């Protein structure tokens, strides 16, 4: 059915060192960003083209964002503001650690977006191994509100991995 094909349409583009993929969904779109958000990432322009005319739900997947600098964060904030102005509801999915650090430093970098899940740095008590795991917010809402991050089993040795940052700093953006 042609209607379904239109709904499933995917577009990809490259903005300097950032890959941008947009997948239309029944209620809006999913935007997947991967690479670097820097002076070449003209994200504000992307906002104008996103299909938000339906229910207007925009999910932005940030799992692949490895780097963001001060010029990049301006572009990023521009994207959030343009989407807000267009009436979109924005959800941030799998926020990478560099994105979490930016959102903790610059309040506008989160804006009014809902945080669905984010990366958490862990270190293993037993073997010293480190890992970045995705934590869903809804499932851990109470613990996170109490500034606690649940331990996770280590994939190397089975020991308990503990959160490897300062809760009052790393979890600030969730407020």
- Write phi, then psi, for 25 (nearest 5 degrees): -125, 175
Among 5, 3, 23, 22, smallest CA distance to 13 is for: 22
Q: Does 156 bind Zn ion (CB under 5 A)?
A: yes
| CA pair distance 13, 31, nearest whole angstrom | 11
DSSP-H helix ranges across 50-128: 70-85, 97-105
Q: How far is the CB of 165 from Zn ion (least distance, A)?
A: 18
On the CB side of 87, how many CA atoms lie within 13 Å of its CA? 6
Q: How far is the CB of 66 from Zn ion (least distance, A)?
A: 24
Q: How far is the CB of 58 from Zn ion (least distance, A)?
A: 38
Per CB under 5 A, the list member of 60, 62, 154, 171 interacting with Zn ion is 154
| CA pair distance 90, 43, nearest whole angstrom | 15
Sole window of 34-42, 65-73, 153-161, 162-170 interacting with Zn ion (rule: CB under 5 A): 153-161
Nearer to Zn ion, 120 or 124 (CB): 124
Q: How far is the CB of 122 from Zn ion (least distance, A)?
A: 10
Residues 119 to 148 in contact with Zn ion, rule: CB under 5 A: 124, 126-127, 129
Per CB under 5 A, the list member of 159, 162, 164, 174 interacting with Zn ion is 159
- Please count the residues of this chain forming the interface with Zn ion, following the rule CB under 5 A: 8
Q: Does 172 bind Zn ion (CB under 5 A)?
A: no
Nearer to Zn ion, 127 or 139 (CB): 127
Residues 54 to 113 in contact with Zn ion, rule: CB under 5 A: none
- Write phi, then psi, for 154 (nearest 5 degrees): -75, 130
| CA pair distance 67, 81, nearest whole angstrom | 21
* Secondary structure class of 53 (helix, strand, coil): coil
Kindly list the residues in this chain that would bind Zn ion in the complex (CB under 5 A): 124, 126-127, 129, 154, 156-157, 159
């Amino acid at each position: 059915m042609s209607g379904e094909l239109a709904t499933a349409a995917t577009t990809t583009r490259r903005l300097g060192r950032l890959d941008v993929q947009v997948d239309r969904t029944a209620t809006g779109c999913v935007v997947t960003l991967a690479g670097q958000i820097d002076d070449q990432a003209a994200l504000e322009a992307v906002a104008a083209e996103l299909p938000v005319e339906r229910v207007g739900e925009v999910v932005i997947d940030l799992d692949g964002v490895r780097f963001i600098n001060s010029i990049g964060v301006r572009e990023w904030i521009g994207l959030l503001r343009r989407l807000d102005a267009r009436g979109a509801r924005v959800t941030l999915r799998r926020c990478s650690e560099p994105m979490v650090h930016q959102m903790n430093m610059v309040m506008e970098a989160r804006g009014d977006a809902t945080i669905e899940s984010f990366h958490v740095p862990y270190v293993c008590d037993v073997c010293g191994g480190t890992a970045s795991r995705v934590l869903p917010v809804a499932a851990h809402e109470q613990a996170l509100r109490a500034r606690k991050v649940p331990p996770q089993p280590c994939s190397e040795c089975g020991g308990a991995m503990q959160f490897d940052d300062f809760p009052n700093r790393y979890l600030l953006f969730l407020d």
